[in-house]
Structure 1
């Protein structure tokens, strides 16, 4: 699904030669750096670098990876991804599985005023509180955020920042395949997204990686309108690849009022369903 060779090729194509001191003219036909230029700047032989990009080289050393990361201008997230891809041949992480601990579900239930859910590396919602279900308009588990974003909400319905969200999700999935390259469920999801979404295919080909641990999330809810929320991702100890995600509104903000209204509307709907069932039974 992902490999060191492909990542090096995409990063090389994005480096501006002038930024690393290489003069260019109108006759240059290569986008980014040439292989031999990367090799020279990083202090490795051209033959060795070519073999790296062809997937034929042995485990590169930390010194080589550091040099390549510097030449290619990788940020912290991209550097970690590069090192993880280089280690795949030695140690391949096992995809997490199994049921959630009851204690985690109890903690999730304590979050009453903000949508909260537990997600895995595939962006499957393993559990969610009541407000999370009201926000996404569906029960959890059962929601996959990537599938929901690209295949079910592709007309920009719920997600106010749809374009940015798509880049975040693809960047996350790129990191996930670097960490769990042997996960068949993840491979199947990526294949489904690629078959169903041109936007996903274009972003996936760029091989960008993103680690989103906190930040703004905006939603256009059909019942309460715009919700401007802050997302915090909390990695769960001893639960590899799983996170507690909480979407909170600033105190005394319109979004806080909208969340309270959403909770109230959800209660009204639940009461209406209960009344309807009672009438049917009577």
Structure 2
């Protein structure tokens, strides 16, 4: 049985062309990617140990081994952070099948106080299941009328895959769907991931299920939103991980260009005029 860590290492190894890292070009008749022996040599570990990691038979590699694998795979900063996170959840995985359960929606007072400091900007507190647990007034203004915040317990993953308005809001819907499905596989816990999968699979169908369990993180470029009055807006996203086992995050949206900054200012000006 594989593990999130092992699946990622194997998929990343398979995605690397040997010639891109200075190794001889592979015969086209052979399987693509690096051989285990190539990665083991580059990482300074044995082939046998690498095999145990990839097959999920070693769930507790040391920090030095993780660093060596990251070097051997030429991971960038984001991928290195992802590797460490996968090692954490792989090491804590229980052999028994967990019971699906929704993630907690309680937000600590200190996290809410941090969010208030970001007013009147665009920010939210979420978790990897996509729950929108708290948000700034700027976030509410940006998403007004889109349908996301109309639910009693807003969830971005559910919204993306089940609300037709999401395809209008997100011009790059496929990329956003890839992000949400990938993040669901990272927590907040295995129980909560299974719970939301069970909820969504019957109603979201193959657009959701075919995206599950992909080991390679999707590329996260600027997020495009199509606003009904402000037009197309582009946002960079900065994520602050909060301490705790609930995998909560503060996500701050920053205007990616001057047109977006001006468009959002017009939205805020219109709100002040109404008030």
TM-score normalised according to structure 1 size: 0.70
Q: Structure 1 residue 207 and structure 2 residue 208: aligned?
A: no
Corresponding residue SS for 1:209: coil
1:251-277 Cα deviation digits (max 9, x unpaired): 97133213433x369x68xxxxxxxxx
Tell me what 1:169 maps to.
180
Q: Which residue of 2 aligns with 1:126?
A: 133
Which residue is 2:223 aligned to? Answer: 217
Kept in 2: contact 1:117–1:125 (CA 8 A): yes
* SS of residue paired to 1:157: helix
- 1:143 has 2:154 as partner: yes
Q: How much has 1:127 moved relative to structure 2?
A: 2.3
Cα–Cα, structure 1 residues 45 and 108, in superposed 2: closer, same or farther, change >3 Å? Answer: closer
Indicate the structure (1 or 2) with the bigger Cα radius of gyration: 1
The 2-side partners of 1:54 and 1:252 are apart by 48
The alignment partner of 1:119 has SS state of strand
Residue 156 of structure 1: CA displacement?
1.9
Aligned to 2:60: 59
1:49 Cα deviation from its structure 2 partner: 2.2
Q: Give the Cα–Cα distance (whole angstroms) in 2 for the partners of residues 44 and 244 of structure 1.
A: 37
Counterpart Cα distance in 1 of 2:247 and 2:123: 17
- State the shift of 1:183 in Å: 3.8
| Paired residues of 2:3 and 2:55 also in contact (CA < 8 A) | no
- Pair 1:74–1:172, CA change in 2 (3 A): same
Query: Which residue is 2:79 aligned to?
Result: 78
Residue 6 of structure 1 corresponds to 7
| Matches for 1:125-274 after TM superposition, within 5 Å | 125-134=132-141, 135=143, 136-137=146-147, 138-139=149-150, 142-153=153-164, 156-174=167-185, 176-177=186-187, 180=188, 182-193=189-200, 196-209=204-217, 216-236=222-242, 241-247=247-253, 253-261=262-270, 263=271
Aligned residue number for residue 20 of structure 2:
19
Find the aligned partners of 2:119 and 2:91 in 1 and give their Cα distance: 44
Structure 2: tracts of 5 or more residues without a match? 94-101
How far 1:173 sits from its partner (Å)? 3.5
Does the Cα contact within 8 Å between 1:4 and 1:86 map onto a contact in 2? yes
TM-score normalised according to structure 2 size:
0.72
Q: Structure 1 residue 211: deviation in Å? A: 9.4
Structure 2 CA distance, aligned partners of 1:38 and 1:106?
Answer: 46
Aligned residues: 258
